[in-house]
Structure 1
Amino acid sequence: MALFVMIIRKMVQNKWLVSSMFFGILMTVALVGTMPIYSEAILSRMLVKDLETFQNEKGIYPGTHWSMIGFYNETSEKRASLIAQMDRFMAAEAAPGFGIPVKELVQERRTKSVSLIPPGTEQDTKKSRQSATLRSYSEFEDHIKLEDGRMPAKQPVDGVYEVLVTDQALANYKAVLDTVFLLKADKIQGNLKIKPVGVFTKKQDDDPYFRNAGLSDMNSAFIIDEGLFAQEFIKGNRIPVSASGWFFVLDYSKMELRNVSQFIDTDKAIRAKVKGKIVQFQSEFNTPALATITEYFERAKQLNKLMWSLNVPVLIMLGFYMFMVSNLIVDRQKNEIAILRSRGAARWQIVLSFAIEGLLLCAIAWAAGPFIGMGLTKVLGASNGFLEFVQRSRMPVHLNDQAFLYGGIAAAVSFLMMLIPVVLATRVSIVGHKQQLARMQRLPFWHKAFLDVAALAVSIYGLTTFNSRLKDLKSLGLSTDDLRIDPLQFVMPALFVLGAGLLLLRLYPFVLKLVYWIGRKWWPPSLYATLIQVGRSNSQYQFLMVFLIMTIAIGVFSAGAARTLNNNTEDRIRYGNGADFVLQAQWQNDKPPPPPPGAPPTDTSLTAPKVIHYLEPSFDPYMKLPGVEQAAKVFVKEKATFASGEKSGVAMLVGVDSDDFGRASWFPNKLLDYPFYEYLNLIAADPRAVLISRTLAEQRGLKKGDTIYVGWEEISSQPFVVFGIIDYFPTFNPNPPIGSIDASDEETKQNAPMLIVGNLSRIQFQLALEPYQVWLKMKPGYSTSEFYDGIEKSKLGLTSIVNTREDLNKAKNDPFLLALNGILTLGFIISILISFVGFLLYWILSLKGRTLQNGIMRAIGLSLRQLIGMLALEQLLTSGVAILIGVAIGNLASLLFVPNFQIAFNPGSLVPPFKVMFAAIDFIRLYSIVIFMLLLGLGILSYMLSRIRVHQALKLGED
């Protein structure tokens, strides 16, 4: 207890140092704790988004689970027992097991197929019979509405079972309501009759209660009351029951990554239970969302790997920070440690006292860190770029066991980092301690061990490996399905930054000596004293300078990486779409309609015209749509034929009105040799003019001024003149299909896509008038909902809509891009906070340690302004130099390593070509934060200097 009290008192005496240490441990635990929390949150949101997309695209509600047992030769008692057991299992075990709310549990029963004999049929032949089944559904009446007739009775009426039917079923059986049918089948007990008394339809069109959206599976069925079915057919066995099914309707919007395992396990349990209850293998299962759900395990692994790699630089800095603060704490107590050692205290006793202190701090940080990590996760979710935040829908953020597990590991590592300086300090005796105080210019450990050279060597090796891999991806045309980022792409730049920073710090003392030597005869006393102070105490500044170098350099690199990936993703989508909206309308034509379903196939070559004639709809309504700034007609023929002399081939033909197209389309600057509009002006001058792609020119040996004949199937070719050769054009990808070539083999490049761009008016007049696309450029701040409402009101009859904004939002919400933006931003903010605390801590302790020196300087005549000037100059030679080094290294790291991020895309088919991008706003944010930190720190230190009392400082010196 006495030892514990002593430790608490020691912590109170060093409260600022202990608080700084605790802050570092807390940030480490919180940062590490964000990884599993964020991974679960973002994947949960993306899982729901993907399921919503699945529902919109396929028209199938994904939150369903269907299973069915088919019966064969079981007795009626056996069937009733199996159905009762499965009902209990589905309601009591399966429903809660999914882990998400169950909206409906539909129990479906079916009889074996029976033959219908209409009333008054005199001759009953098997050929004239129609078959049907009787079915029941739980809570069926709550989900239907009657179109005709009434609801059936829940008991037989005069021996006749009343049923519900669909309108199509009545038509199929050529019957009307209240028609009585006699049922015939094997094993039917007695004469059974049914009577349709009501026609039903869905109460809501999008009700997921119905497995089939169009009710087509009920067009050969008669729906009977659930209770009556159980009484007469399950228990009474009037008609043998052939199958029983259970249909779960689940609220998939509540699906989270933590529920995925439960969902899959429950699905497996249901399948095993169903298969275990049947003698013959007769069962059906359908789980639409299973494929989407299972792939998220792999995505979670990839995302966790990415998050660890993104956090490596910050974790390295936090490790440095804790080592530095622990070193400062131990340095202030080295005299006490040396005295205790000289008086017989064992090393383990001294280490134990520091260990107890560290355990207290780490335990508190471990308990609080994951909760802070939850708050940091919300920052991650709101990031839209580096140091850029947007308002997004709230992510489902939850604490999980992994957050505490990872946090515990981080706390344990922090604990070890704290003890390293303590263990080293206990090896020094009182004599050795005094010797060390007299040798302040000792080399740091990393310089002695040449860790800077080792880190640089590893990072350069990694860079070479990435370049080689990128070359292979381009040459082989390999592909990646999603945005994938190799974790080493962030580890290697961090090592490069660390190695380069330490290497420059190795050289910095020589630069100081050179500056001192050059102006030793002219320097004023304040600068002379500052150069002496920095030069003789250079090793003391190393930790602080390493902090600032890594913070700034990684901040610059992070800004470049995030901006490059975000902008290249955006440019790829905009270029691939061509405009803000691309619309395709249905044109009236003389093409014969398709044959009706079930009709025998006919030879359309005898009836269809060789050339289909189209009637062009009015173009004016497009310009009048809400938010439209410019509209353009764009004709695209994927497989047009061309010939020039003896050379021919197939190319994509694009017809445009050059002025409208130039205003409506999107095309990046500096992608071609000349501005894009100048190429459009070339073909505007002559209706015969065309632009051809460089791939066509190289493969067929064409040049400017050549005549080329263009047409397509059933359309006679017409002459055009090549006015220009272009490398890129909106939506055109000049790269060969992925995996189709080896770029190192010149002979296999002949299948690269080719393009011809001509005047739309000439193509329509001399070739053919066929449907074109409408490209729209929208006004800034337009409303998508108003635009869609305008389309609906205009009744344009569109067959397809490409929405670039929607595609951009989808890309922005990719979990890997979100993680990239969020973690880079969060890592930089934490780095800045840690650096600021370390910066203040170091300078405050440094000023306190030089109180006597500063007091003497004030006493011999230096003014407060001169003293503050010396402090500012000292900061310039340390912090300022570190910031300049950080900026230089960060830019160099960006130029070297950011180009390899095109591995995240399909580098062999990337259009526009991958380009490293920087934005001034990123650096303005970055440098503003750093300058604010330095000015705030200088203000605090200046205030402390102003509070020094000369007589107190001198009295302290006398003591």
Structure 2
Amino acid sequence: MALFVMIIRKMVQNKWLVFSLLIGILMSVALVSSMPIYSEGILSRMLKKDLERWQEVSGQYPGAIYSTMSFTDKPERFNGMFERYDTFIKTEAAPSFQLPIQELVNDMSSTSLRMMRADDPEEITDRNSQAVTIKSFSGLEKHIKLKDGRMPSPAPVDGVYEVLVTERALVQFKTVLDTVFLIHSDKMPAPLKFKPVGVFEKLEDDDPYFRYGNLSDMSTSLILPFETGKQLLLGNQSLPITSAGWYLVMDYTKMEFRHVSAYLDTHEGMRQALLRNVSLYQMKVDAVAHDTIDYYLYRAANLNLLMWALNVPVLIMLAFYMFMVSNLIASRQKSEIAVLRSRGAARWQVIAAYFVEGLLLCGIALLIGPFLGGGLTRILGASNGFMEFVQRVNLPIRITEQSYLYGAIAAGACLIIILIPIILATRVSIVDHKQQMARLVKTPIWHKLFLDVIALGLAIYGLYTFKKRLEDLQSLGLSSTDLNIDPLQFIVPALFIMGGGLLLLRLYPWVLRLVYWIGRKWWPPSIYATLIQVGRSSSQYQFLMIFLIMTIATGVFSASAARTINLNSEDRIQYGNGADVVLNVNWINDAPPPPMVGGGPGGGGDTSSVPKRINYLEPPFEPFLNLPGVEHGAKVFTKEKAFYTFNKDTAEVTLMGIETDQFGMTTWFRDSLMDYPLNDYLNLMASETDAVLISRTLADQKNVKAGDTIWIGWEGVTQQPFRVFGIIDYFPTFNPMPATGIIKVGTNRSPMLIVGHLSRIQLQLAMEPYQVWLKLKPDATTADLYKGIEENKLAVNKITNTREDLVLAKNDPFLLALNGILTLGFVISLLVSFIGFLLYWVLSLRGRTLQNGILRAIGLSVGNLIAMLAVEQVLTSGVAVLLGIIVGNLASLLYVPNFQIVFNPSSLVPPFLVQIDPSDMVRIYWMVGIMLTIGIGILAYMLSRLRIHQALKLGED
């Protein structure tokens, strides 16, 4: 207990240092514990959105699972098989999904039976009978309404079983209600009588109770009340049963990522339970959204890997911070530690005392950190770019056991880091300590161990291997998932920043000596004294300078990485779509209707009457230009399988027809993709109607050059001559990269493009449907555009909305994580750097109180002292900021291109472009400048409060 009280008192005496250390530990634990919280939150939100989108596209309810068993075994086993699996579904499977159960439907179906009118005196034959199945569904009466007739009786009436039918079934059977039918089969003990007494329809159109969303599967069936059907099909087996099913409907809107494993395990458990009852060929478990949900485990693994990768620089920064603060604590208490050692205290006893202190701080951080990590997760979810935030629906935040596990690991690592300086300090005796105090110039440990050279070596190796991987991906036509990911690639930028900063700091003392030597005859006393102070004590500034270097460099690299990935994501979508909105329009034509299944009359369809060329009637274009919010519009014709001929060589190409003026004003294109702006090429071909532009792939693979005449056409269209006016590398929507899976890029492998005038193509080749490309005004909304299309009754069958695609891309969990973590990492780095900066200089000024007092006593004014401090800041903090800018920009140029692996580099169009936005840099410099200004202001205030007599009295003491 006495030891504990001593530790508490020691912590109180050094409260500011201890508090600063606690902040570093707390930030580390919060950052690491936020990883599983964020991963689960963002994947939960994206899973819900993906399931909603899947429902819109497929029309099926994503929360549905249907399992069925077919009965082909001995009838006496049917009841046992059904009851065992039914009990399993209701008592084990349904609760195991951990989701609200909306419906649990049992259905049973008979084999195909023969049905004839009961009053037909003839024997049952194919001529007077129809095929029918008897079905039964649990809870059906709650989800239907009668369109005609009444509900059936659960018991037979005068030996006749009453049933429900759909309106379509009534038409199919060519009958009316209350008609008695006789049903017979060789597998039935005796014929049974059935009578339709009611016609039903769905109570609600979007009711997920109905497996297929409609009643089409009941169009040739009679529907018995469930208990009656169960008795006939399973109980006394009066009807031959073919299958029984269990349709489970869960509320997928309540699904979170934590439910994914339970969902998949329960799905597999249902399969295994069925296999125990029936053979593999007699069972089926169909989860509508199984593949979508299963994919999220893969996404979670990749997202966690990405988050660790992006957090490495920040974690290294925090490790440096904690080591620095712990080193300051050890430095201030070295005398005390040396005295304890000289008086007989063992090293382990001294270390144990500091271990208990560190354990208290780490324990506090572990208790608070995960909750702070939840708050950091909210910031991550609101990020839209580097240092940019938008209003979004809050992520579902849930602090789990895994977040505490991550936090505990981080706290343990922090404890080890803060004990290292203490362990080193206990090795020093009182004599050694006095000797070290007299030696101000000493080599830092990282320079002794050449950690800068090792870090740079690993970083350069990582850069080389990553470049090699990118070359393989592009040359082999592989996707980014075809090769294993080397984890080293995710930490090489941080290693480069750290190694580069340490290497420059190795050279820093020599630069100081050079500056001192150059102006040694002209420096005023204040600058001379400052140069002597910094030059002789340069090792004391190393921690502070590496702090600032890593903060600035990390900020520059983070801003460049985020800006580059965001803009390249946007460029890829805009280039691939071509314009803000792309409309596919229905054209009136004389194309024959598609042949009927089975060929229709004439058996198989005679295609001799099909015309070789379909004639189209072009719809008016002006209504599209008058739609709300439209700024420009263009007609764009694309023929994927056109042919060209040159020097008796024929090949398949993509042909595009455009109106140059309107196309140039409508499309999106990055001008840096080609030697000249796109409009220059369009103006070049605008002068002649037979002018075309060809892709570089066509020119290189077929030896076509500007000025050559080529012949263009397509199937059923006679080729016509065109003249090549220019060669282009890229063009909106055109991907010149070879298809994925090609072993090596070679001749006749890459896609080829020809761009010509739409008017000449329509006049000399053929008039065929084109797309309508629209450029919207900046303040226009797509909702108004859609409303205008509907009001004008334009025959649009497909809309490609670039703005919606951009929003979808922005909400991708990987981009959200990247933007959020890079922003959060920079803010945390800035915060701990500010604390470290202020802490270091406050302690430094307190330690130099006697020196400053003497300088004041010999005649230096407060202004001179502040000027000395300013010069010292320029030589330390200012130089560190400059080095950080250099290292950060160099790291961006070398390592940001490696992020293109996220986009599948084998088909990346347009090419990946590193973006360094000046506004991002200005934002970083402003924040760092404010931090340094506040810090220097506080230090100047402390100097102005200095009293000479206090300093001299301190010297006497």
Q: Following the alignment from structure 1 to structure 2, what is the Cα–Cα distance between the partners of residues 638 and 353?
A: 77
Q: Is the 8 A contact 1:485 1:901 kept in 2?
A: no
How far apart are 1:168 and its partner, in Å? 1.9
1:256 corresponds to: 256
For structure 1, the residue ranges without an aligned partner over 5 or more in a row are none
Distance 1:573 1:153, change over 3 A: same
Cα distance in 1 between the residues matched to 2:945 and 2:80: 90
Give 1:603 shift. Answer: 4.4
Alignment of 1:911-930 (within 5 A): 911-930=909-928
Q: Which residue of 1 aligns with 2:854?
A: 856
Q: Which amino acid is the alignment partner of residue 386 of structure 1?
A: F
Post-superposition offset of 1:632: 0.8
Over residues 637-660 of structure 1, what are the superposed CA-to-partner deviations in whole Å (9 max), with x where a residue is unaligned?
Answer: 111122234333221111111111
1:742 corresponds in structure 2 to 744
Give the Cα separation in 2 of the matches to 1:941 and 1:804: 53
Offset of residue 411 of structure 1: 0.7
User: Once the two structures are superposed, what CA deviation does each residue of 1:908-953 show, in whole Å capped at 9, x if it has no partner?
Assistant: 3322122111112211221121111111111222222222233222
Aligned pair partner of 1:709 in 691, 708, 711:
711
C-alpha distance in 1 between matches for 2:174 and 2:816: 59
| TM-fit CA distance, 1:213 | 2.7
Per-residue CA deviation, residues 35-94 of structure 1 (Å, 9 max, x unaligned), is 111222222222223222322222222211111233345556x54454444433322221
- Of residues 306-315 and 895-904 in structure 1, the stretch that sits farther from structure 2 once superposed is 895-904
- Tell me, in whole angstroms, the C-alpha distance in 2 between the residues paired with 1:788 and 1:203: 31
Q: Shift of residue 117 of structure 1?
A: 1.4
Amino acid paired to 1:110: S
Distance (Å, rounded) in 2 between the aligned partners of 1:742 and 1:392: 45
Q: How many residues align?
A: 954
Partner of 1:50: 50
State the shift of 1:741 in Å: 4.8
Structure-2 separation of matches of 1:273 and 1:610: 57
Provide Cα deviations, 1:438-475, integer angstroms capped at 9, x if missing partner.
Answer: 01111111111111111111111211222222222222
1:423 is matched with 423
1:698 to 693, 697, 700: 700
Residue among 690, 697, 707 paired with 1:688: 690
CA positional deviation for 1:370: 1.0
> Post-superposition shift, 1:758?
1.2
Name the CA distance, whole Å, in 1 between partners of 2:701 and 2:932: 60
Report the Cα distance in structure 2 between the residues aligned to 1:878 and 1:928, rounded to whole angstroms: 18
Quote the Cα distance in structure 2 between the aligned partners of 1:280 and 1:579: 51
CA 1:469–1:243: 2 relative to 1, 3 Å: closer
Shift in CA distance, 257/771, structure 1 to aligned 2, threshold 3 Å: same
Cα contact 2:383–2:819 (8 A) shared by 1: yes
* Offset from partner CA, 1:143-202 (integer Å, 9 cap, x none): 223333333333333332222112221222111222211121346465522221222222
The 1:786/1:50 distance shift into structure 2, 3 A limit, reads same
Rate the CA distance shift 1:349–1:279 in 2: closer, same or farther, 3 A. Answer: closer
Larger deviation: 450-459 or 484-493?
484-493
Q: Deviations over 1:209-251 (max 9, x none)?
A: 1111332221121112223334555445443444321111111
Q: Give yes or no for the alignment of 1:778 onto 2:776.
A: yes
Q: Secondary structure at the match of 1:414?
A: helix
Give, in whole Å, the separation in 1 of the partners of 2:116 and 2:312: 77
Normalised to the residue count of structure 1, the TM-score between the two structures is: 0.96
Q: Name the CA shift for 1:485/1:794 in 2 (closer, same or farther; >3 Å).
A: farther
Equivalent pair of 2:270/2:285 in contact (CA under 8 Å): no
Are 1:655 and 1:763, in contact at CA under 8 Å, matched by a contact in 2?
yes
| 2:126 aligned residue | 127
Give, in whole Å, the separation in 1 of the partners of 2:785 and 2:159.
60
Is the CA contact (8 Å cut-off) linking 1:65 and 1:286 kept in structure 2?
Answer: yes
Say if 2:185 and 2:191, in contact at 8 Å, map to a contact too: no
Q: 1:281 to 1:773 in 2, by over 3 A?
A: closer
Residues 381 and 816 of structure 2 are in contact (CA less than 8 Å); yes or no, is this contact kept in structure 1?
yes
Paired AA for residue 642 in structure 2:
A
Matches within 5 A, 1:648-667: 648-667=650-669
RMSD: 2.1
1:485 positional shift: 7.8
Match of 1:506?
506
Q: Are the equivalent residues in 1 in contact too, given 2:116–2:124 (CA < 8 A)?
A: no
1:337 and 1:630 map into 2 onto residues whose CA distance is 78
AA of the residue aligned to 2:532: I
- Contact 1:683–1:689 (CA under 8 A) maintained in structure 2: yes
- d(CA) in 2 for partners of 1:606, 1:72: 48
Aligned to 1:954: 952
Letter in 2 for 1:693: S
CA contact (8 A) 1:46 1:815 kept: yes
Is residue 599–residue 605 contact of structure 2 (8 Å, CA) maintained in 1? no
Q: Tell me the SS of whatever aligns to 2:672.
A: coil
Residue 309 of structure 1 corresponds to 309
Q: Tell me the residue number matched to 1:333.
A: 333
- 1:931 aligned to 913, 929, 932, which one? 929
Structure 2 CA distance for partners of 1:882 and 1:635, relative to 1, 3 Å: same
Q: Distance in 1 between matches of 2:112 and 2:720?
A: 65
> Given the superposition, is the C-alpha separation of residues 763 and 284 from structure 1 closer, same or farther in structure 2, using an over 3 Å criterion?
same
Equivalent in the alignment of 1:94: 93
Please, which of 799, 802, 809 is the counterpart of residue 800 of structure 2?
A: 802
Where 2:47 maps in the other structure, the secondary structure is helix
**Is the 1:37–1:400 Cα contact (8 Å) retained in structure 2?**
yes
Select the residue among 722, 725, 729 that pairs with 2:724: 722
* Contact kept in structure 2, 1:592 and 1:607, CA below 8 Å: no
Counterpart-to-counterpart distance in 1, 2:662 and 2:203: 48
**Between 587-596 and 941-950, the greater mean CA deviation after superposition:** 941-950
Instruction: Tell me the distance in 2 between the aligned counterparts of 1:104 and 1:733.
Output: 48
Q: 1:149 to 1:663 in 2, by over 3 A?
A: farther
Maintained 8 Å contact 1:313/1:554: yes
Are residue 561 (structure 1) and residue 561 (structure 2) matched? yes
- The 3-state SS of whatever aligns with 2:427 is coil
Residues in 1 aligned to 2:78 and 2:704: alpha-carbon distance in whole angstroms: 78
Aligned residue runs from structure 1 range 9-408, under 5 A = 9-74=9-74, 79-128=78-127, 129-186=129-186, 188=188, 191-230=191-230, 233-278=233-278, 282-408=282-408
Map residues 587-602 of structure 1 onto 2, 5 A cutoff: 587-600=587-600, 602=604
Correspondence for 1:836 among 834, 843, 852: 834
- 1:790 corresponds in structure 2 to 788
Structure 2 residue matching 1:873: 3-state secondary structure? helix
The 3 A distance-change label for structure 1 pair 240 and 718 is closer
CA distance in 1, matches of 2:631, 2:136: 57
1:933 counterpart letter in structure 2: M
Using the alignment, how far apart are the partners of 1:765 and 1:118 within structure 2? 66
Question: Does 810-819 or 526-535 show the bigger shift?
Answer: 810-819
Corresponding residue for 1:813?
A: 811
Residue pair 1:341, 1:347 contacting (<8 A) in 2 also? yes
Instruction: Specify whether residues 190 and 903 from structure 1 end up closer, same or farther in structure 2 by C-alpha distance, changes over 3 A only.
Output: closer
CA distance in 2, matches of 1:462, 1:278: 54
Distance 1:539 1:583, change over 3 A: same
Compare 864-873 and 541-550 and name the one that shifted more. 864-873
- Per-residue deviation, 1:690: 1.5
Aligned to 1:675: 677
CA shift in 2, pair 1:801/1:193, >3 Å: same
Contact 2:473 2:480 in 1 (8 A): no
Contact 1:484 1:905 in 2 (8 A): no
- Report how far residue 764 of structure 1 moved: 1.0
| TM-score between both structures, scaled by the size of structure 2 | 0.96
Q: CA deviation at 1:701?
A: 2.5
Partner of 1:612: 614
* Identity across matched positions, percent: 60
Residue 846 of structure 1: how far off its partner (Å): 0.7
User: What displacement does 1:612 show?
Assistant: 0.7
Instruction: State the AA in 2 paired with 1:593.
Output: P
Deviations 1:306-353 (A, max 9, x none): 211211111111111111111111111111111111111111111111
Cα gap change, 1:190/1:605 in structure 2, threshold over 3 Å: closer, same or farther?
Answer: closer
Identify if the C-alpha distance between structure 1 residues 8 and 489 changes in structure 2 by more than 3 Å, giving closer, same or farther.
same
